[in-house]
Structure 1
Amino acid sequence: MNSFAFLMHHTWNAEPKSRLEIFFSTLKYRINSHIEHIEVTDSLYKKQLSEARQQLEDSFIEPLKIATKRYKELVGDGEVSPSDDQIASHESGLSDLENEHSFQDHELSERFDELGSMFNNSALIQTCSLLEKELKDLCYLLQDEENELISLEDFASRDYIGGCLKYLTLVIKLDNTILEPYLNKIKDLQFLRNRIVHDRGEFLKSDEKLRDNLKIIKEIIKKSSNRVELIEEHRYHELKIKEASYVLDYYKHILEFFQTILWLIENRFNHKLLKSKLIRLIGSTQKKAKIKFVDYKATIGKFEVKYLLTFNGKVVPKQFEVLLEITKRKGAAVYSSYKGPKNDIIEQLSANLREQSFIILNEFHDYVIIRKELGIAIKFVATSS
């Protein structure tokens, strides 16, 4: 099958998406929409602050020019003593203008800092709410897919995220060891969310748990590279999120977290989703090809699954190892390769996949959540004749 026929086959033979694909596709869209909302809003705040500062500067240009001229008239030429400088600055109005400018600039900074902190706090609450809702919906979806009698309600807890993770690991039997590295940052998110929602971000000095809470928040501040701060007031310490980038980091973390969950779901259900996609890619070349799962390995940022591909009929060689690699990397990359004796079918398939690499991206569009940061490779290696 030449490159054009290969393209037409995949263009006109699209299959309906599974519920799992739809879930993760929607999840990706929602998270990216939240990210865009934060980026746009933060940019608008910074733009408004810049414009307000410029207006402030413009409003002081002429008065400062007049006051500076009067100051020079009063001090004359030559060396100016500290007392003469003080008197001339006062009589010309220059000192008053400089003080007023400094006051208004400080007030402007404080006002926009407060606006930014309010937005960042609310954005962080949304982040946690999204994580809770999507985890809950995923649990119900997997319960339906598995016809599982045990429900998420059986793990009811005030810790909604913890309840969902228990359900996924104990009932759906996902490998918790792979998820463990993500949980500490999620616990930080929950801690911040609870303090903002229930205590307006305040840590009362009279609270008997103050010492423990301050220990947690100081560790969070350290990990945040000071994008989170704690301001000491008379009766309490106030939590503030200074930079929107801190909240954006959580969204990126959640994307990676759900990507890993999807990989674990694939492993739990014998890679049937990936297998169906590979069959579509290979079946366009050889409809009688059979694929058998061989091995699987997942680590943070890297996922590998190995299949055995067997062709029927008079094809030499008949059997190939197919290795699908999905690796976190800087910038997207999609490629295909073949290693082995000359084989027109596999060589043409590999060439088609290289030339029409977007077909691989389209095929795995709903499987790869953080697509822009991943490399996808399909490698064919002959194993027998």
Structure 2
Amino acid sequence: MDHFGFHWHFLLHEQEIPELNRYFEKIGKKLDVFKRNAIKTTELYQKQHAEDLKLGKEAFDAQMKAGDEIYYKIIEEYGDNETGRSLANHEAGYMYHQDDYENLVPYLEQTYADIKDSYNKSSLAVLYALFETETSRLCSIMQSRYGKLIDHESLGGSDYILKYLKYLKLVIEMDVAALEQFVDANLKPVKLLRNKIIHHDSEFPGETTELLQIIENSNGMVIQTDGQGTLQISINNIEYIIGIAALVERFFQDLFWAVEQKTNYVILLNKIQYLFSAFDPNITATLESFGRIPKGYQIIVRLHSATVPEMCCKAKISIKGTNQNSIELLNQLDNYPRMTEFHDFLNQNPNYIFKQLLQGTNITGAPQDVKILLYP
């Protein structure tokens, strides 16, 4: 099978995406869209701010130029003396135009600061809603998958995320201890901040030490006061929101691995089978082992094909974070030259690895180094 044959196979045999695969793929896409939209919207605000400043300066220059014509006309009529100059300055409106322009600059600064603050707060609310909603959705998926009668909304507690994790731990019997610790250390403060924004119009009393500490450590927020003891939160930097999005990505990445551990790595096995279906559409992959390696993980599977005996082998796949996407396929199946063709195909078409095989497993979208070793 040449490169065209491999392309044709993947075109005709579209990957079946089970519900769990689809769930994590959608989360990765949603978070990516959220970040792109936040950055692009902020850039548009900055661009419009600069454009308004430019228009304001052009209008000021035009007013001053028109004032010059009036000024010299009056000087010509009344003479270049104290009386003439005083009248000319007044009629030219220099002082008024200067005052208007000097007031325009801080006005635009404050206006666009308020716009960005409003947008950033709205973005935080949307992001936290996605966080809660998608965690709840996973509980429903796992309930259906394992046929549990108890649903996650039956559990008590006002903290939805901790309630959902409790459900996954007690009812689904997943190991979520690390997730609980991560939420408590990194996302609990986000919930407190979000609640003040949504339920108290960003206001809080000055003696709230916990919230003050969050703000002081944020590098993205400022505190304003009304002079009567009430403090107002202002988010003036989109990077603060992007940082929270990175925490949410990390949460769902860790949640993915918790689900994979519970399901015996069904998502990865499904994707590996699809990759090697280029040799046999009915090829199967069974787990031999899974382990963590520095900056990534390694999975060893046994491939079995009823029609292509050369593909009855093992595959060791190592994936770790790196600075740039890369693929290396090592073939120790000396009696199967088609694997060399497949190696060349993947090197020239890495999209099949990074956007089909690994999509949904890499929530953060960070570059990955992929090594695949095939051996008897």
Q: Pairwise mapping of residues 229-378 of structure 1 onto structure 2 (< 5 A)? A: 229-235=222-228, 236-285=230-279, 291-298=285-292, 302-309=296-303, 319-325=313-319, 327-331=320-324, 333-338=325-330, 340=332, 342-344=334-336, 346-364=339-357, 366-370=359-363, 372-375=365-368, 377-378=370-371
Aligned to 1:217: 212
Normalised by the size of structure 1, how large is the TM-score? 0.79
Q: Report the Cα offset of residue 186 of structure 1.
A: 1.5
Secondary structure of the corresponding residue to residue 314 of structure 2: strand
The answer (yes or no) to whether the contact 1:67–1:94 under 8 Å persists in 2 is yes
How far apart are the structure 2 equivalents of 1:313 and 1:127? 48
How far apart are the structure 1 equivalents of 2:293 and 2:216? 28
The answer (yes or no) to whether the contact 1:311–1:319 under 8 Å persists in 2 is no
Alpha-carbon spacing, 1:360–1:158, altered in 2? closer, same or farther (3 Å) = same
Q: Pairwise mapping of residues 35-184 of structure 1 onto structure 2 (< 5 A)? A: 35-64=35-64, 97-179=97-179, 180-181=181-182, 183-184=184-185
The answer (yes or no) to whether the contact 2:27–2:363 under 8 Å persists in 1 is no
Q: Residue type of the partner of 1:342?
A: D
More off after superposition, 316-325 vs 133-142 = 316-325
The answer (yes or no) to whether the contact 1:263–1:303 under 8 Å persists in 2 is no
CA RMSD of aligned residues (A): 3.6
The answer (yes or no) to whether the contact 2:116–2:236 under 8 Å persists in 1 is yes
Residue 200 in 1 paired to residue 201 in 2? yes
How far apart are the structure 2 equivalents of 1:231 and 1:158? 30
How far apart are the structure 2 equivalents of 1:340 and 1:299? 22
Q: Report the Cα offset of residue 194 of structure 1.
A: 0.5
Alpha-carbon spacing, 1:19–1:269, altered in 2? closer, same or farther (3 Å) = same
The number of residues matched between the two structures is 360
Q: Residue type of the partner of 2:138?
A: L
Normalised by the size of structure 2, how large is the TM-score? 0.81
How far apart are the structure 2 equivalents of 1:376 and 1:292? 23
- How far does the alpha carbon of each residue in 1:101-123 deviate from its partner, in whole angstroms, 9 at most, with x for none? 32221122112211221121112
Note the residue ranges of structure 2 that are not aligned, 5 or more in a row: 76-85
How far apart are the structure 2 equivalents of 1:265 and 1:100? 61
Q: Report the Cα offset of residue 240 of structure 1.
A: 0.4
How far apart are the structure 2 equivalents of 1:279 and 1:113? 51
Alpha-carbon spacing, 1:201–1:146, altered in 2? closer, same or farther (3 Å) = same
Secondary structure of the corresponding residue to residue 322 of structure 1: strand
- How far does the alpha carbon of each residue in 1:323-370 deviate from its partner, in whole angstroms, 9 at most, with x for none? 242x33444x24232154634254444333323322223432642354
The answer (yes or no) to whether the contact 2:300–2:314 under 8 Å persists in 1 is no
More off after superposition, 267-276 vs 284-293 = 284-293
Secondary structure of the corresponding residue to residue 295 of structure 1: strand
Aligned to 1:84: none
Note the residue ranges of structure 1 that are not aligned, 5 or more in a row: 75-86
How far apart are the structure 1 equivalents of 2:146 and 2:321? 30
The answer (yes or no) to whether the contact 1:282–1:349 under 8 Å persists in 2 is no
How far apart are the structure 2 equivalents of 1:153 and 1:346? 50
Alpha-carbon spacing, 1:128–1:29, altered in 2? closer, same or farther (3 Å) = same
How far apart are the structure 1 equivalents of 2:365 and 2:226? 44
More off after superposition, 107-116 vs 254-263 = 254-263
The answer (yes or no) to whether the contact 1:338–1:347 under 8 Å persists in 2 is no
- How far does the alpha carbon of each residue in 1:188-238 deviate from its partner, in whole angstroms, 9 at most, with x for none? 221110111121111124xxxx2433xx3334432x32x111123322111
How far apart are the structure 2 equivalents of 1:39 and 1:284? 39
Identical aligned pairs, as a percentage?
19
Alpha-carbon spacing, 1:128–1:365, altered in 2? closer, same or farther (3 Å) = same
Alpha-carbon spacing, 1:50–1:340, altered in 2? closer, same or farther (3 Å) = same
Alpha-carbon spacing, 1:315–1:112, altered in 2? closer, same or farther (3 Å) = closer
How far apart are the structure 2 equivalents of 1:168 and 1:314? 41
Alpha-carbon spacing, 1:257–1:330, altered in 2? closer, same or farther (3 Å) = farther
Alpha-carbon spacing, 1:154–1:281, altered in 2? closer, same or farther (3 Å) = same
Q: Residue type of the partner of 1:198?
A: H
More off after superposition, 303-312 vs 233-242 = 303-312
Q: Report the Cα offset of residue 288 of structure 1.
A: 8.0
Alpha-carbon spacing, 1:51–1:349, altered in 2? closer, same or farther (3 Å) = closer
How far apart are the structure 2 equivalents of 1:283 and 1:348? 15
Secondary structure of the corresponding residue to residue 373 of structure 1: coil
More off after superposition, 309-318 vs 9-18 = 309-318
Aligned to 2:79: none
Q: Report the Cα offset of residue 124 of structure 1.
A: 0.9
Aligned to 1:7: 7
